[in-house]
Homo-oligomer: A and B are copies of this chain.
Amino acid sequence: MRKLFLLSAMGLACAGAAQAQSSATLFGVVDVNVESFNAGGVGSSTMVGNGGLATSRVGFRGVEDLGGGMSAGFWLEGSINPDVGEGRPSNSTNQPSGTGAAVAGREGFKFDRVSYVSLATTQLGELRLGHDFIPTHWSSIYFDPFNANGVGRAGNFTFAGVTTAPMSTQITGSNSISYWTPSKLGGFYGMAMIGTGENASGTATSRDGNFAGFRAGYAAARFDMAVALTRTHYEPTATIGNYTHANIGGTWNAGFAKFFALYNTVKVGLAGGAVRKNTAEIGAHIPVFLVGRIRVAYAVLDDRSDSALLNANGSARKSNDARQLAVGYVHDMSRRTALYGTYSALRNRGQATYTVSGNRAPLAGQNSRGLELGIRHLF
């Protein structure tokens, strides 16, 4: 493995240093696909999308060895939408209103995924300052057979299911400090994170956007499992309130297949009564010769906040639950390039309008189906 040595940039405020040298890596993913969606009661649509297998991105990162087991590092990584040539929003203050719909044609590239500076020692672990994934999201990635991407992900329930919560604080957090345990703990690992909404004090919403969370797990050769929790404060209103996300999950590699299990519970403390939704998912990766793998997952959403709902005529309404079955195949053309196809069928009950597509919602209680065929290239 070779590294790239780039001429170091001396900050304006610093004396130049002739021997200074940096190791910065340019990296990224370009993943584009052709998608076809059917939204029950609405119709079909065929689109060109991206990120069906891995989120498209561009980034820069590096690590500097400081000697004595100490190191400093940075990571700057931003999402891109290569199907349309744009970047993606970042929520700078963790507020509910932080991530508005992008104005068409204007969403510039930003380091919305990861942007931090860090210090680490092999004995004590790592400290990161900046913008980063929240604790629960790591489990949403690692313990979902579809890695939180594309039509088959459990996130079709976990994230989109809670429409009153701001997307970005379900995935990343701004103004954060996180601590990561060192790697030599006999298989145990963990991290904890706090962040602030940076509101002015003295108002009812001054703590909005403050969050805290942790993730702890154990990994062995064939086994990995973790529990995680993230909680963000929002002063309760009719549409938003304290947002709590907890999950537990794991993987077990049996050789002929790698099995996945993930359980998410999301609660939003609205002023008019909390919304709580639980999602359970099981699935597997089944290797196909040496060049591919079948991916399959079944997810069930249990909306716990709808138990007392009635129809307009007073009859008991069916629970707003949903189920999703997804199957796909990934064909590795090389370590960097893969072709993939995923089919996902989502069945809504009651008034649920979950969708596999992210934005083409069916009518209430109707089904959603989607197919993605794409190319993912790493650099």
Contact of A70 among B50, B83, B333 (CB under 8 A): B333
Contact of A1 among B7, B112, B379 (CB under 8 A): B7
Q: Which of A27-35, A183-191, A214-222, A275-283 sits within the interface?
A: A27-35
Near B by CB (< 8 A), chain A positions 148-184 give 148-149, 168, 172, 174-177
A23 — which chain B residues lie within 8 A by C-beta? 379
Q: How far is the CB of A174 from chain B (nearest CB, A)?
A: 4
* Pairwise interchain contact A31-B117, C-beta atoms closer than 8 A: yes
> Given A22-B336, A336-B20, is A108 in contact with B105 using a C-beta cutoff of 8 Å?
no
A130 — which chain B residues lie within 8 A by C-beta? 30, 32, 48, 50, 82-83, 85
Q: How far is the CB of A232 from chain B (nearest CB, A)?
A: 15
A369 — which chain B residues lie within 8 A by C-beta? none
> Given A72-B377, A104-B99, A378-B11, is A84 in contact with B131 using a C-beta cutoff of 8 Å?
yes
* Pairwise interchain contact B174-A19, C-beta atoms closer than 8 A: no
- CB of A365 closer than 8 Å to a CB of B: no
* Pairwise interchain contact B116-A32, C-beta atoms closer than 8 A: yes
Near B by CB (< 8 A), chain A positions 78-124 give 78, 80-87, 89-93, 95, 97-100, 102-119
* Pairwise interchain contact B379-A60, C-beta atoms closer than 8 A: yes
Q: Which of A196-204, A301-309, A317-325, A341-349 sits within the interface?
A: A196-204
A113 — which chain B residues lie within 8 A by C-beta? 85
* Pairwise interchain contact A107-B104, C-beta atoms closer than 8 A: no
- CB of A375 closer than 8 Å to a CB of B: yes
* Pairwise interchain contact A175-B337, C-beta atoms closer than 8 A: no
Contact of A14 among B14, B116, B378 (CB under 8 A): B378
Q: How far is the CB of A176 from chain B (nearest CB, A)?
A: 7
- CB of A239 closer than 8 Å to a CB of B: no
A64 — which chain B residues lie within 8 A by C-beta? 334, 336-337, 377
A43 — which chain B residues lie within 8 A by C-beta? 200-202
> Given A2-B5, A43-B202, A141-B12, is A32 in contact with B117 using a C-beta cutoff of 8 Å?
yes
* Pairwise interchain contact A30-B85, C-beta atoms closer than 8 A: no
A73 — which chain B residues lie within 8 A by C-beta? 377
Which residue from chain B places its CB closest to the CB of A31 in the assembled complex?
B117
Contact of A8 among B31, B46, B70, B379 (CB under 8 A): B379
Contact of A83 among B33, B110, B175 (CB under 8 A): B175
Q: How far is the CB of A170 from chain B (nearest CB, A)?
A: 14
A115 — which chain B residues lie within 8 A by C-beta? 30, 80-85
Q: How far is the CB of A210 from chain B (nearest CB, A)?
A: 10
Near B by CB (< 8 A), chain A positions 133-151 give 141, 147-149
Given contacts A48-B130, A78-B85, could you give 7 more A-B pairs where the C-beta distance is less than 8 Å?
A: A9-B29, A9-B59, A19-B335, A43-B201, A87-B109, A97-B104, A99-B105
